[in-house]
Amino acid sequence: MTMRTRTYFYFLRQSLISLTRNGLMSLASIGTMVVSLVILGMFVMTIASLGNLVSALESKVEVVAFLKDSTTPTEVVKLQKIIGDLPGVKEVEFVSKETAFHQLKEKMGNKSKVLEAVKTNPLPSSFEVKAKDPLFVSKLANKLITFKQVEEVKYGKGVVEKLFALTRVLRIVGVVLTVLLTLATIYIIVNTIRLTVFARRKEIRIMKLVGATDWFIRWPFVIEGIILGLVGALLSVLVLRESYVFVIDKLQNQLPFLPLDNNLASVADLSYWLLLVGIVIGAVGSSISLHKFLQD
């Protein structure tokens, strides 16, 4: 075993001894880190879930172009091809008068019996057009109304604009709040680690008096911070994973119509980031906290 390897093992052993000896402060640091990272993780997952929900709602925005009764089958085929080739159009689906009437009966459920009194089908044929970008629906609607076979165009004008405005605000607010909460989390964790270091200031001064270099003093603390950060992050990941599964299952049971993502892959991605954040904060926090005492 080389001298350098023995030194690293010495640093690791000293870190583990220090963690055991200062168990109460270590638990306090881990507890603070778990709480802070859980709050941060829950907020990020909430923002991500809202983003997925908004994206799902945006993807359902479509333009419905109602056709005149005089439109022939040949014109329908040609018009569907023309609309499908328009810039920004993702999908075009033709809905015949009969299909529209059948869909209406299905939506009405038990109340569909009132339609039995209707002798002729009053519903028009239509094209349901989806845009590649939901923001394009307004321009698309203005284009569709120019075709002579189109009687009327509907896409929820007013409601759609409000939805897009709301989504923009949600995304901006989400990013800003995530950044602020991340900075607050880092501040809280670093100051907690600083208290741990402060409680051992006499030990640091003694090591300096016997001639230990700054890095010889610093490394055990940095490794200790990494261990604290790793343990705190692992615990927070476990809490977040179980909480996510519990909350999503409850919401899906209560609100089955909401397009909620129950895929744990998104939680796994967040977990990697939290582990990295925990380790980095633990290491950097210990190093920053030591700086003042090493300068004395």
Higher local confidence (pLDDT), 62 or 259: 62
d(CA 189, CA 207): 26
Q: How many CB atoms lie within 10 A of CB 187?
A: 12
Is 85's pLDDT higher than 60?
A: yes
Judging by beta carbons within 10 Å of its beta carbon (0-12, 13-18, 19+), is residue 223 exposed, middle or buried? buried
* Range list for CATH 3.30.70.3040 in the chain: 62-154
Give residue 25's identity as a one-letter amino acid code: M
Give residue 291's identity as a one-letter amino acid code: H
Which range scores top for mean pLDDT: 86-90, 162-166, 196-200? 86-90
**How far is the CA of 152 from the CAs of 49, 85, 125, in angstroms?**
36, 20, 11
Is 257's pLDDT higher than 60?
A: no
pLDDT for the residue 168: 76
Residues 6+ apart with CB under 8 A from 77: none
pLDDT in tens, 127-145: 988 888 777 788 888 888 8
Q: What is the pLDDT averaged over residues 244-263? A: 66
Higher local confidence (pLDDT), 20 or 59: 20
Q: What is the largest CA-CA distance in the chain?
A: 102
d(CA 216, CA 204): 11
d(CA 82, CA 73): 14
Q: What is the pLDDT averaged over residues 187-208? A: 74
Q: Are 241 and 263 in contact (CB under 8 A)?
A: no
The CATH class of 62-154 is alpha beta
Residues 6+ apart with CB under 8 A from 133: 88
Is 49's pLDDT higher than 80?
A: no
